[in-house]
Amino acid sequence: MITLYGMYRSRATRNIWALEELGLAWQLKPVIQAYRLEARGVDPASAGAALNTRSPDFLRLSPAGAIPVMEDAGLILSESLAINLYLARKAGGPLAPKDAREEALMEQWALYGATGIETDALEISMAYAKGVAEGAEAAIERASDRLRRPFAALEAHLGAHSHMVGGRFTVADINMAEVVRYAQPHKALMAAFPRVTSWLDLCQARPAFQKMWAAREAEAV
Ligand SMILES: N[C@@H](CCC(=O)N[C@@H](CS)C(=O)NCC(=O)O)C(=O)O
């Protein structure tokens, strides 16, 4: 049984989506971000606080103090995109790399998503989640401008390929879709990249995504 430590309202979404797609047995052990407790007026260090990213028990598992973390038969793994690549290799099947070349391409796209897209996309997501306050709009535009180059790379790739890797839906699509999702609230940016938008729509129409998303929406903010 795979244990995932985290919350639906975190990058654990990508792992939950992958676990559902892969049909692996898993359980969620809730670990909440310390800042969410603080936002609720709860001191993360207080005795009654829920297990959180600053709890000593969690820090023993993950010194980085970040969710998600996965545990599988003694293997403790952090970094959500690496967790997904592990899960796909473990389960095998069409979502997994079929050879070393596909594996390399999946790693390439995961690293590109993490280093070239996620920070700016997350800035957009956070600004929209807070409600686009005055001042946030300029930050959104700057992040959006920075995303145009990597999104153009994705647009070109999806012009020549139906999916990120291997001409089929794989874990590489899950990883990239979950990174790109953070920019989705910025409709003007998405509209400029129609292939990225329709690929993302197709990824998010999958039952495993829909199931994960419904549970995420039901979780307290
Ligand atoms: N690169 C890491 C980032 C992990 C991360 O930053 N997680 C956030 C939640 S999505 C977190 O746990 N933050 C800790 C905190 O704010 O206390 C990954 O992809 O897993």
Q: How would residue 131 be classed by pLDDT, with cut points 50, 70 and 90? A: confident
Q: What is the DSSP string of 126-140?
A: HHHHH---TTHHHHH
Q: Report how far ligand 1's centroid is from the alpha carbon of 63 (Å).
A: 12
Distance 99 CA to ligand 1 centre (A): 30
- Tokens 């592990």 — which residue? 86
What is the tally of helices (H) and strands (E) in the chain? Answer: 11, 4
Burial of 75 (0-12, 13-18, 19+ CB in 10 A): exposed
User: For domain 100-209, is the CATH number 1.20.1050.10?
Assistant: yes
Atom of ligand 1 at shortest distance to CA of 83?
A: 20
Whole-angstrom Cα distance, residue 187 to residue 43?
37
CB under 6 Å to ligand 1: residues?
10-11, 33-35, 53, 65-68, 78-81
125 Cα–ligand 1 center, Å: 14
Residue nearest to ligand 1 atom 1, measured at CA: 79
Tell me if the bond preceding 207 is cis, omega within 30° of 0: no
CATH class of 2-94: alpha beta
Q: Where in the chain is the domain with CATH 3.40.30.10?
A: 2-94
pTM for the model stands at 0.97
Minimal CA–CA distance to 17: which of 93, 95, 71? 95
**Residue whose C-alpha is closest to residue 72's, from 26, 19, 117, 10:** 26
Is 90 exceeded by the pLDDT of residue 144?
A: yes
% helix, strand, coil for the chain, step of 5: 60, 10, 30
Instruction: Give span(s): CATH 1.20.1050.10, the chain.
Output: 100-209
pLDDT band (50, 70, 90) for residue 108? very high
Separation of alpha carbons 69 and 15, rounded Å:
10
Quick: pLDDT tens for 51-85: 999 999 999 999 999 999 999 999 999 999 999 99
